[in-house]
Structure 1
Amino acid sequence: MSKVYMDRTDQEMYKNQLSMSQYIEEHRVYPFHRFIESEWFLLPIFFSIAMLMIYVFFIWYRDWFGKNTFIYRLLMLPTERITIYFAKLTTIMLLVLGLVTLQILLIPIENQIVNSIIPTDFQSHFSFYDINSLEIWGWLYPNTFTEFILIYGVGLIFVAVLFTAILIERSYGLKGIFFAIVYGMLSFGVFFAPILLNEFSSGYFYSLEVLLMVLVMSTIVLGSAIWIANHLLKYKIRV
């Protein structure tokens, strides 16, 4: 992105016989946002998110379909089986937070690379806080701790529901696929019920009331996912 910018800049300055100061007056200096909003920056993030989504399934199914069916060894450990569920759930969340942390570390490095290509006079001032204006960045890096808990809490619930759906499928075979789909639809239906209710009632509820209803439904969905998973691991999945 930086080299393309400099090539175009050189061509236009040469074509129109512009000095550096004249060019800067007529055009903007190179904004780092141009890189952040480009596919070179966004596609790797989306690719990583997609790989994490695949790993949500892979982290369970590899234990069943791997060379040594490792899941049976895990289930025979002298500890509560639900510990396996929490360990895999923690792994996914750590990978997500690792992705977020990696992007934070890469930003100043990428900015230095840009500054090494773009001459000083064409560089724009960049602050890490400036990128909050990018929509996807607001989801990855919430501005407040409350938003962080809400956004990543929703992600935790989503993964927990998927984990439980996988255990339902593993417990009941072909019928389990149908049961897992129904369970997933019911869980997300319960989770989004307060939001849909508020939409259909034309904003009848206050924002705080909607938030409290969402929190209650989230607790119900997460609690039921853990309870069902614990029941399946104890009584349905046999070694």
Structure 2
Amino acid sequence: ALRSIGKLSFEQASSYFSYIIMIGVVLVILYAIQIWYRDWFGESKYIYRLLLLPGGRAKIFFAKWTSLALVIISFIGLQWVVIQLSYVIFNWLIKDDYRESSSLGLSMTLKQLYTMSLVDLLIFIVLSLFIVSFLFMLVLLERSYRNAKGMLFIVLEVAFLLLVTIGSMYVIEKLDIFLSQEISAIMMAIFVLYFVYMIWKSLRLLKWKISV
């Protein structure tokens, strides 16, 4: 068996973690939508109490936004703890003669996620919060306009995001006058500007369009 198949590595044994990550991503996306709609639906209509609280409505938005940030960070930390414990169990169950290496080897997906670099971790969290903010904006658009008009605005926002992303890449590629560092800086600037736009748009909808 060792000659035909080879020794077992932790990278092979931990490949299923990628599917757990996908499940976690789906759960975060569903929670980002449910955290708003749960206040509208139900017997208590809790959203009306929130909207009537003294102070700015921006507190409601950032309270939900912060809770999603904590969920994402907690999920990453929990996943890393589970990987470390799984590595200990792997070394305990599999004899040295049957293990390919004693080092903590991860699959390609996990290596990209768990680089143990603070910069990479912050980039991953920011990208996750970008998606959360985009979902928040779509939910608030639907709640502000409702029915067909709300769906139309959602389609327009999705189309606008695709247009900005694909259009920017197309223009940069056609011009072919920028260095790689300059291209990265331009895309980062577009990313930051759209991120700010989503937050501003969501706060504006929550303050002026959603009524009690």
- Normalised by the length of structure 1, the TM-score is 0.78
1:113 aligns with 2:89: yes
Larger radius of gyration: 1
**Residue 172 of structure 1: aligned partner:** 145
TM-superposition CA deviations, 1:132-154 (whole Å, max 9, x none): xx332244234644433333322
State the secondary structure of the residue aligned to 1:238. coil
Residues 127 and 120 of structure 1: is their aligned pair in 2 closer, same or farther, counting only changes over 3 Å?
A: closer
**Residue 179 of structure 2: aligned partner:** 206
> Residue 34 of structure 1 is aligned with which of 12, 23, 32?
12
Superposed, 1:20-169 pairs within 5 Å as 23=2, 28-37=6-15, 40-128=16-104, 130-131=105-106, 134-142=107-115, 144-169=117-142
Over the residues paired in the alignment, what is the CA RMSD in angstroms?
2.3
Distance 2:168 2:194 in 1: 13
Residues 142 and 183 of structure 1: is their aligned pair in 2 closer, same or farther, counting only changes over 3 Å?
A: farther
1:226 aligns with 2:204: no
1:195 aligns with 2:173: no
Give 1:53 shift: 1.2
State the secondary structure of the residue aligned to 1:66. coil
Check conservation: 2:73, 2:125, Cα contact below 8 A.
Answer: no
Residues 101 and 173 of structure 1: is their aligned pair in 2 closer, same or farther, counting only changes over 3 Å?
A: same
Moved more, 27-36 or 60-69: 27-36
Distance 1:197 1:36 in 2: 41
Check conservation: 1:81, 1:233, Cα contact below 8 A.
Answer: yes
State the secondary structure of the residue aligned to 2:43. coil
Q: Which one-letter code corresponds to 2:23 in the other structure?
A: F
**Residue 156 of structure 2: aligned partner:** 182
Q: Which one-letter code corresponds to 1:31 in the other structure?
A: S
Residues 140 and 115 of structure 1: is their aligned pair in 2 closer, same or farther, counting only changes over 3 Å?
A: same
Check conservation: 1:168, 1:176, Cα contact below 8 A.
Answer: yes
Give 1:191 shift: 4.2
TM-superposition CA deviations, 1:159-187 (whole Å, max 9, x none): 21221111111011110111022113213
Structure number with greater CO (CA < 8 Å, separation at least 6) is 2
How many residue pairs were aligned? 211
Give % identity. 29
Q: Which one-letter code corresponds to 1:29 in the other structure?
A: K
Distance 1:151 1:194 in 2: 22
Give 1:221 shift: 0.9
Distance 1:192 1:145 in 2: 29
Listed as ranges, the gaps of 5+ residues in structure 2 are none
- Normalised by the length of structure 2, the TM-score is 0.87
